[in-house]
Structure 1
Amino acid sequence: MKFIVDAQLPRILQVRLNDLGHDAIHVKDLPRSGDTSDSEITALADAEDRVVVTKDSDFRHAHETGGHPERLLYVTLGNLRNRDLLAHVSAHHAAIIAAFDEADFIELGARGLTLHPRR
């Protein structure tokens, strides 16, 4: 699976996703780095069939109202240490991947995954 990790999430999350066998990039590696707009991130994700991984509610709103980005992993864990974030992602990794067979918008929160039906 292919991912693009948004700027407010740590680069180490991109590394973890790569270590888990995925093709993950971080917004900070794009030509405009952290200045890349949400619409540019969305366009890249949709063009390259990437899941946007974010904490930014603007992506949630855009997905719910317009269907873009096409696939979204919305992290609702609040502020926590990087190691705790990585632990959550690792613990739910298989379920996250499987969930994208059923949904195109998934929330990763303290209670696990919430799947939102396809539009």
Structure 2
Amino acid sequence: MKLAKRLFDFLRNDEKRMIYIMRHVGTMGYLLMILSMTSCAGFNPSTIEEKPREDIILAMKIKAKLIEAEELKAAAIHVEAANGSVKISGFVETESQRQLASSIIQQFPDVKQVNNQLKVK
């Protein structure tokens, strides 16, 4: 009984602590509610679109080559590959940098098509 009285006095005497505790209790309840709702939705791994390993490796090799190119070091270029088709997007400083990126990509034997969507700043 003494412990309950001490706790009650502690909370009653310090309103800031009480507000702090109640805020955190409410937040925890809200988080538990969200977690229970999302777990009911279920998870279906077949809905996730997976890229073939070869496409990921090709995109990584191309990105590495573009980074190695001295003229393109400062360029922000995003590379996507799918079934031999490579799409590049982002920004470069000059038109010659844009063309250089395409020519570097075309040197890869696995690349069938280059979709150059780079924009010149």
Q: Same fold (TM over 0.5)?
A: no
Report the structure number with the largest CA radius of gyration. 2
Structure number having the greater helix percentage: 2
Using CA pairs below 8 Å that are at least 6 residues apart, which structure has the higher relative contact order? 1
